[in-house]
């Protein structure tokens, strides 16, 4: 198989055996980019020279007899809302079109410490607000399985890159499903870790109490390796969880015997494609056949997750995005008479429609007279949703659910109707409200499009997710299928 389609752990083995060099891997990925990027359009920024230099440094170290870290020499795509020192970080917004961070996000520092090779910054919905990557201020990313369809979002560029072979691994961020939903639609593994497991320092905030960075990879071994690299306490993030480092690869065992897995009734009863429902049931059967115990469970407040999410996330966003005023960095609307006009004009021109919609929603929810009825009530609902999960986890180790109601939808299908778009995340956002870890993995295909299944775990039980996901992938080969991407043209 082509180098660019191998998972990181296999590339690592080839590197260590000197069967391939890091520069060769890097070149293979850039050749792949040259062939398919015009079709997929995953990247906002590519750093070919920097990447090749970093790869060459890995080769030098290898020649000098150094031990290679598991991710050394592995080409990475980083979502463009994660700060990279010296490399423009736009959040796919006009507002930050020229913002070059003077510092690296903690996760970038940690990947750099392993000598992973950052190759570029991936496209996304502006400020991570969206589920299709169509809300990028620059261009839409396309689904490698069908370029007329969306890759999901907001981490659509990262998921599409891993699926298309234009990155080996990628980082995304997940506020209401932004890693899992595009991973599902692109047929890759995308994990949202427990809130607090991965430092948010350097992640441009959308909704601080929900945001979490996580890996997008081809299989669970890579997922564990990336998680090993990026997780762990960071003193620069007050919400970062304390605790000793965990070796997540130790959970990669092909065995789910005795694991109790709940199937949340509310996620399977309504509002999803019959084919997706079937795939979830088949996945349940696979795990059951391997010795897991499956049973239905109820999460009674599920219906309130979406409305609560669309109060809490915009409320925090309206605050987090207040800093973009044209005064210190980023876009500034020129030739204004005073600072108030400048701030207004800058925000009017610098933000896209979806971002402005959410800022207005959130501003409203926090306003005097509405705070109690909206924001505070949403916080109460959040507590109820967390309790639903706590109760479920008294009986179960894991929950199995669909990731999305349907496979990838056509480009333009939902852009006119925000509510339709928001419903793409209906199965993912409760997990963010509860702060839980969850992972989407390829569960099957419908009409040639990948369908994701979602495993949800207890807080800090990423290991259990890895164990179940790894076992599932030992018994299935959905994750080994590659999109039918030539280097060829796309119908528009």
Partner 1 sequence: MRDYEAVIGLEVHVELKTASKIFCHSSTAFGGTQNTHVCPVCLGLPGTLPVLNRQVVEYGIKVALALNCEVARFCKFDRKHYFYPDLPKNYQISQYDLPLSYDGYLDYQTDDGRTHRCGIVRVHMEEDAGKLIHREGGKGSYALVDYNRTGVPLLEIVSAPDIRSAQAARAYLSELKTVIQYTGVSDCKMEEGSLRCDANVSVRPRGSDVLGTKTEIKNLNSFRAVEKALEFEIARQIEVCAAGGRVVPETRSWDEEKGITVSMRSKEEAHDYRYFPDPDLVPLVISPSWIERVRRELPELPAARRRRYQDEFGLSEYDARVLTAARETADYFEECVRQYPHPKVVANWVMGDLARLLNAAQVEIGECRVRPGGLAALLRLIDDGTISGKIAKGVLEEMFATGKEPQAVVAEKGLVQITDPKVLAPVVDRVLAANPGPVADYRQGKSKALGFLVGQVMKETRGKANPGLVNALLKEKLDQ
Inter-residue contact 75 to 168 (CB < 8 Å): yes
For position 327 contacting partner 1 by CB under 8 A, the verdict is yes
Torsion, Cα 211 215 218 221, to 10 degrees, reads -130
Residues 95-154 touching partner 1, rule: CB under 8 A, are 96, 99, 101-103, 105
Pairing of strands 260-264, 212-217: unpaired
The one catalytic residue among 42, 132, 154, 158: 154
The residue (of 262 and 330) whose beta carbon lies closer to partner 1 is 330
Give the residue, chosen from 16, 48, 52, 209, that forms a contact with partner 1 under the rule CB under 8 A: 209
> Which of helix, strand or coil describes residue 340?
helix
The dihedral sign for the CA sequence 437, 396, 296, 449: positive
Residue 130 gets the label, from left (phi > 0), alpha (psi -120 to 50) or beta, of left
For position 223 contacting partner 1 by CB under 8 A, the verdict is no
Question: E strands of 298-424, at which residues?
Answer: 398-402
Inter-residue contact 21 to 54 (CB < 8 Å): no
Pairing of strands 189-192, 293-297: unpaired
For position 220 contacting partner 1 by CB under 8 A, the verdict is no
State yes or no: is 79 an active-site residue.
Answer: yes
For position 475 contacting partner 1 by CB under 8 A, the verdict is no
The residue (of 289 and 340) whose beta carbon lies closer to partner 1 is 340
| Bridge partners, 382 (sequence order) | none
User: Using CA atoms, how far apart are residues 216 and 173, in angstroms rounded to an integer?
Assistant: 10
Binding mask 231-260 for partner 1 (x = CB under 8 A): ----xxxxx---------------------
Stretch that binds partner 1, among 130-138, 360-368, 415-423, 431-439 (CB under 8 A): 360-368
> Which of helix, strand or coil describes residue 384?
helix
The residue (of 209 and 415) whose beta carbon lies closer to partner 1 is 209
For position 334 contacting partner 1 by CB under 8 A, the verdict is no
- Taking the complex as a whole, the smallest distance from the CB of residue 139 to partner 1 amounts, in Å, to 21
Pairing of strands 212-217, 398-402: unpaired
For position 171 contacting partner 1 by CB under 8 A, the verdict is no
The residue (of 101 and 457) whose beta carbon lies closer to partner 1 is 101
For position 207 contacting partner 1 by CB under 8 A, the verdict is yes
State yes or no: is 178 an active-site residue.
Answer: yes
Binding mask 58-97 for partner 1 (x = CB under 8 A): -----------------------xxx-----x-x----x-
Inter-residue contact 118 to 78 (CB < 8 Å): yes
State yes or no: is 154 an active-site residue.
Answer: yes
**What does the block give as tokens for 233?**
């306490």
The residue (of 87 and 261) whose beta carbon lies closer to partner 1 is 87
Catalytically active residues are 79, 154, 178
């Amino acid at each position: 198989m082509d180098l660019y389609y191998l998972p990181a752990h296999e590339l690592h083995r080839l590197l260590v055996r000197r069967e391939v060099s890091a520069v060769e891997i890097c070149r293979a990925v850039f050749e792949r980019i040259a062939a398919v990027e015009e079709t997929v359009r995953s990247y906002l920024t590519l750093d070919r020279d920097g990447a090749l230099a970093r790869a060459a440094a890995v080769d030098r170290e290898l020649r000098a007899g150094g031990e290679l870290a598991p991710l050394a020499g592995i080409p990475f795509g980083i979502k463009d809302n994660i700060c990279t020192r010296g490399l423009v970080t736009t959040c796919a917004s006009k507002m930050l079109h020229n913002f070059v961070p003077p510092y690296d996000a903690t996760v970038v520092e940690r990947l750099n410490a392993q000598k992973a090779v950052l190759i570029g910054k991936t496209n996304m919905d502006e400020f991570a607000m969206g589920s299709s990557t169509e809300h990028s201020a620059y261009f839409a990313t396309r689904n490698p399985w069908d370029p007329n369809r969306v890759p999901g979002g907001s981490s659509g560029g990262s998921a599409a890159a891993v699926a298309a072979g234009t990155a080996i691994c990628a980082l995304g961020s997940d506020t209401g499903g932004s890693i899992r939903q595009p991973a599902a639609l692109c047929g890759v593994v995308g994990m949202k870790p427990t809130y607090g497991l991965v430092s948010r320092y350097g992640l441009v905030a959308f909704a601080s109490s929900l945001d979490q960075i996580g890996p997008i990879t081809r299989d669970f071994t890579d997922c564990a390796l990336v998680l090993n690299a990026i997780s762990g306490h960071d003193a620069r993030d007050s919400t970062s969880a304390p605790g000793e480092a965990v070796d997540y690869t130790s959970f990669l065992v092909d065995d789910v015997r005795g694991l109790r897995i709940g199937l949340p009734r509310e996620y399977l009863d309504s509002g999803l494609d019959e084919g997706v429902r079937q795939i979830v049931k088949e996945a349940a059967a696979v795990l059951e056949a391997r010795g897991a115990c499956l049973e239905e469970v109820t999460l009674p407040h599920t219906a309130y997750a979406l409305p609560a999410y669309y109060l809490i996330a915009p409320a925090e966003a309206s605050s987090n995005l207040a800093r973009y005023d044209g005064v210190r960095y980023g876009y500034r609307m020129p030739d204004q008479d005073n600072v108030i006009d400048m701030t207004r004009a800058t925000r009017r021109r610098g933000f896209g429609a979806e971002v402005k919609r959410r800022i207005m929603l959130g501003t409203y929810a926090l306003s005097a007279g509405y705070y109690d009825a909206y924001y505070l009530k949403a916080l109460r609902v959040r507590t109820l949703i967390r309790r639903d999960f706590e109760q479920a986890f008294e009986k179960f180790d894991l929950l199995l659910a669909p990731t999305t109601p349907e496979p990838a939808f056509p480009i333009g299908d939902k852009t006119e109707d925000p509510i339709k778009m928001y419903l793409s995340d209906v199965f993912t956002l409760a997990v963010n409200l509860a702060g839980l870890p969850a992972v989407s993995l390829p569960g099957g295909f419908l009409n040639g499009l990948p369908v994701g299944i979602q495993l949800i775990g207890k807080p800090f039980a990423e290991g259990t997710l890895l164990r179940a996901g790894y076992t599932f992938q030992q018994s299935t080969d959905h994750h080994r299928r590659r999109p039918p991407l030539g280097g060829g043209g796309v119908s528009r």
